[in-house]
Amino acid sequence: MATVSMHEAKTHLSALVARAERGEDIVITNAGTPRVRLVPVRPAARAFGRVALHVPDDFDDALPEDELTAWA
């Protein structure tokens, strides 16, 4: 685990980000006290497509009596 000061982090941010992306654990300190850990962002879960649905206007109307009887 690499530890760098806040000043060093500001000066070398691009290089530190590249190191973190390669998997290196980097802790940034302020006045010698660990404050944050620099880690890469993991890609979001992939969406597996989209489904186009049409919901009719009468979707939530009461069912006809014959269909209610069939469900009983």
User: Over 80: is that where the pLDDT of 23 sits?
Assistant: yes
Confidence category of residue 33, pLDDT binned at 50, 70, 90: very high
Q: What are phi and psi of 31, to 5 degrees?
A: 55, 35
Highest mean pLDDT among 7-11, 44-48, 62-66, 67-71: 7-11
User: Is the pLDDT higher at 45 or at 56?
Assistant: 56
pTM of the prediction? 0.58
